Amino acid sequence: MNTASILRVATNAPLSRLFDYLAPTDTAVAPGCRVRVQFGRQTQIGLVMEVANQSELPISKLRSVTEVIDTSPLLAASDLWLVKFTSDYYHHPIGEVVAAALPALLRQGRPLQDVVQRLSLTKAGLQTEPAQLSKRAKRQAELLTLIQGFDDPTFTTLDEAMPGWRRLKKSLLDKALVVEITTIDSGRDKNSLTVAEQESGPPLNSDQSEALASIRRVDGFRTTLLDGVTGSGKTEVYLRLMADEIAAGRQVLVLVPEIGLTPQLVRRFERRLGFEPVVLHSGLSDSERLSAWRGAREGSAQLIVGTRSAIFVPMRTPGLIIVDEEHDASLKQQEGLRYSARDLAVARAKKLNVPVILGSATPSLETLQRCREGAYEIAELPIRAGNAVPPLMRLIDLTRFDAQDGLSEPVVKAITKNIDSNGQVLIYLNRRGFAPTLICGGCGVVAECTRCDSRMTVHATSGLLKCHHCGAQRNVDAVCGECGSHCRPLGHGTERLEDALQNRFPGESISRIDSDSTRLKGTMNKALAMATSGETRILVGTQMLSKGHHFPNLTLVVVINADQGLFSTDFRGAERLAQSLVQVAGRSGREERQGEVIIQTAFPEHPFWNEMFGGGYSKVASNALLEREKAVWPPFSRIALVRASATRREDAHEFLQHALKLTQQAAIADVRVLGPVGAPMERKAGRYRAQLLLQSRDRHSLHRLLAILRHSLEGDKAARRVRWSLDVDPIELF
């Protein structure tokens, strides 16, 4: 037996296993360091996951690592644990989990510490008048002036201020007017910024104090659901908990579902805590991301606020994890590594032995059930904080009132009344674009996407038909390709609603907020600021506008159409609909004036409305839990999907038939396998999609089967013609 030091490396391969390499003899390499390795015919950057002293392969067959990139580990043991846990739980290739956990620049092999180069003036440089330089050296003089105007400018600053300056550098160096200095940017400057004035918060009400006390009662790991109606002051409770941890020198990680929610929340944290939180989200540049990541790793970032991928950020002194809007679907990644940031937050907190708070006004049924079972604690904030009272809700029967341009008469009246009394109105329609499709007035044919089983949406501003599933676009047809008759838009999207409102309420300031109107950087913040100040009188928007925002003047919310949700084929349909209605309703009447919510439906007799108006979200949730228990759906069982797609339908189905056979051979009792079936929208972007559903009351049985499946399917010939993936705890069944 050889006692050489073996590095077990996660490489960038779609495989679950680690690969063994020999460690260099002259440097010690610890788990968590990056190494460059020869992988097949390529050189790759891998992460050392384990150091061992033996390999399953003969030592003579092992290659040595080409280069050791880090002298000390990037990831500590508990961070590596999270990577390993994620790979195991989601049955996903470990190298791809590492990729999710490391910022792009580190994946590319850049050093952790950024080297910063600057030019600094010498004594001569300080004293030399640029005009004294030779007349032929005009550009040099210009550069000298520039440097004299800055305090040791970095090369990046100079790049921006004077493109082409680098060619002149040598001359100034030769004349001994400047020197080059190289420093290491440790990222420590992150978070040292303090804001001028620290605001104090309102005194807590008794529900808040009780919630806070109950959370503080336990040291170490515990999961608490903070179940508080919208505007009940959950954020105030977070703020007290954060302040505790920060004062004790520990770090706090806050996960939020969407980037749209962050600016307001981050400013609030900042004003109250007195320093700038470190923010991690997809809108950052690579170097901003690295800098934030580094601050978190070193512990200088005391508060980290991020979207789902921030769950992987390393922390030196973790003290608390908060998941805000824990029910939100965007906390689950829906492609590639399909992880739930909420579920990983609980697992990570347990490993770190720190508390985790899940906050929501509409908790997921999974979380509610865990509370019922006693696995999670629950703290409730049943009433709105301050003087705000819950909004009045009413239903408008669209079979009794005509809805011109989507707006029924009672809705128009209510909007008028609200505006006349200086209120603000939010109109919610979860459909962007002008109209959901284009129809021919002659033969009735509708515009379909050629690559998906779906219709093209009409976008009036750009004059294009767009497919929201694959991104395909083409010009709006004026006449029908089949019969030559005129085509017209069918149905309503936010653009059309905005037009209609503009016509009905001329002169009012109307603003549309959806992913089309906020595509340009900064437009979202500007629109939100105008809405918050009350300058905008009517807001039209998709779900982007429905969550988390606090618009003080908003007194009326109109839901244009809730009916899509009533007839959803997904077992989560009722839960989702109730959540989105409660969230959007929660924007109304958050301060002094009572709010109003009007929902239009063509199905007022649907039993859902009885539950919703009779007992609110908790009634919908407890009924849905009863139904799920009967049908053995989650949270009363665990499910997973094997998804496959291919350019030919048969290939996807054949592959899943093969997977089905594997599950039969594995012969694990108590796992039910359903399918394969085509997805309801079977064709997307030219590929046919199908899936196999695995379901079990026993998590361990399900995971045993998934492990067998992944192992057999990796490298399987049958997999060559398809793209396949496993989705553990899927939240969309299709």
C-beta of 50 vs 258, nearer to ligand ADP:
258
Residue 235 interacts, among ligand ADP, Zn ion, none and using kind-specific CB cut-offs from 5 to 8 Å, with ligand ADP
Considering only the stretches 121-129, 228-236, 369-377, 708-716, report the one whose residues sit in contact with ligand ADP under the rule CB under 6 A: 228-236
| Minimum CB–partner distance for residue 200 and ligand ADP (Å) | 11
| Residues 6+ away with beta carbon under 8 Å from 400 | none
Residue 604 partner contact from Zn ion, ligand ADP, none using kind-dependent CB cut-offs of 5 to 8 Å: none
Q: Binding partner of residue 208 among Zn ion, ligand ADP, none, CB under 5 to 8 Å per kind?
A: ligand ADP
* 553 in contact with ligand ADP (CB under 6 A): no
Closest approach, Cβ 207 to ligand ADP, in A, equals 9
Asked if 276 contacts 195 with a C-beta cutoff of 8 angstroms, the reply is yes
Regarding 490 and contact with ligand ADP (CB under 6 A), the answer is no
Nearer to ligand ADP, 462 or 532 (CB): 532
Q: Which of residues 231 and 730 has its CB atom nearest to ligand ADP in the complex?
A: 231
Residue of 233, 257, 314, 489 that binds ligand ADP (CB under 6 A): 233
Residue 534 found at the interface with ligand ADP (CB under 6 A): no
Whether residue 435 contacts residue 463, with contact meaning beta carbons closer than 8 Å, is answered with no
Contacted entry of ligand ADP, Zn ion, none for residue 234, CB cut-off 5 to 8 Å set by kind = ligand ADP
Nearer to ligand ADP, 73 or 233 (CB): 233
Nearer to Zn ion, 451 or 704 (CB): 451
Out of Zn ion, ligand ADP, none, which partner does residue 449 contact, by CB within 5 to 8 A per kind? Zn ion
Distance, in Å, from the CA atom of 459 to the CA atom of 457, rounded to the nearest integer, reads 6
Characterize 311-338 residue by residue with b for buried, 16 or more Cβ atoms within 10 angstroms of its Cβ, and e for exposed.
bbbbbeebbbbbbbbbbbbbbbbeeebb
CA distances, 589 to each of 257, 360, 538, 559, 597 (Å): 23, 18, 15, 15, 9
Which H helix or E strand runs over 42? strand 42-52
Q: Label the pairing between strands 510-513 and 407-408.
A: unpaired
For the CB of residue 232, give the shortest distance to ligand ADP in the complex, in Å. Answer: 4
Cα–Cα distance between 299 and 293 in angstroms, integer?
Answer: 10
Q: Is 369 in the site for ligand ADP (CB under 6 A)?
A: no
- Our CB check for Zn ion shows the closer of 1 and 478 to be 478
234 binds ligand ADP (CB under 6 A): yes
At its nearest, how many Å lie between Zn ion and the CB of residue 485? 5
If DSSP codes are grouped into helix, strand and coil, which group holds residue 359? strand
Q: Which of 202/336 has CB closer to ligand ADP?
A: 202
Closest to ligand ADP by CB, 254 vs 290, is 254
Select from ligand ADP, Zn ion, none the partner in contact with residue 46, using the beta carbon and a kind-dependent cut-off of 5 to 8 Å. Answer: none
Locus of tokens 């033969």: 443
Annotate 532-553 with b (16+ C-beta within 10 A) or e (fewer). Answer: beeebbbbbbbbbbbbbbbbeb
Q: Which helix (H) or strand (E) holds 45?
A: strand 42-52
- Nearest Cα neighbor of 190 from 99, 284, 77 is 284
Nearer to ligand ADP by Cβ, of 234 and 628: the residue is 234
Q: What is the DSSP string of 229-263?
A: -TTSSHHHHHHHHHHHHHHTT-EEEEE-S-GGGHH
Q: For residues 104 and 127, what is the distance between their CA atoms, to the nearest angstrom?
A: 43
Binding map of ligand ADP across residues 374-393, x = CB under 6 A, - = no contact: -----------xx-------
Phi first, then psi, for residue 478 (nearest 5°) are: -80, -40
- The reply to whether 493 sits near ligand ADP by the rule CB under 6 A is no
DSSP string spanning 550-614? Answer: --TTEEEEEES--HHHHT-SSTTHHHHHHHHHHHHHTTS--SSSPPEEEEEES-TTSHHHHHHHH
For residue 539, the minimal CB distance to ligand ADP (Å) is: 18
Partner residues linked to 408 by β-bridges:
403
Residue 588 interacting with ligand ADP (CB under 6 A)? no
Minimum Å gap between C-beta 15 and Zn ion is 32
Kindly list the residues in this chain that would bind Zn ion in the complex (CB under 5 A).
440, 442-443, 445, 449, 451-452, 467, 469-470, 472, 480, 482-483, 485
Residue 264 in contact with ligand ADP, rule: CB under 6 A: no
Among 187, 228, 306, 319, binds ligand ADP (CB under 6 A): 228
Residue 298 touches ligand ADP, criterion: CB under 6 A: no
Query: From the list Zn ion, ligand ADP, none, which binds 490 (C-beta under 5 to 8 Å, kind-based)?
Result: none
Query: Which region, judged by CB under 6 A, interacts with ligand ADP, from 204-212, 315-323, 440-448, 494-502?
Result: 204-212
Is 237 or 578 the residue whose CB approaches ligand ADP more closely? 237
CA distance 588 to 384: 12
Min dist CB 609 to Zn ion, Å, is 34
What distances in angstroms separate CA 517 from CA 99, 470, 695, one per listed residue?
A: 32, 19, 41
Per the document, the length of the chain is 734
For 56, the token pair is 């399953």
Q: Which is nearer to Zn ion, 308 or 689 (CB)?
A: 689
Residue 332 is given by DSSP the state B
**What does the binding site for ligand ADP look like in residue numbers (CB under 6 A)?**
202, 204-205, 208, 228, 230-236, 385-386
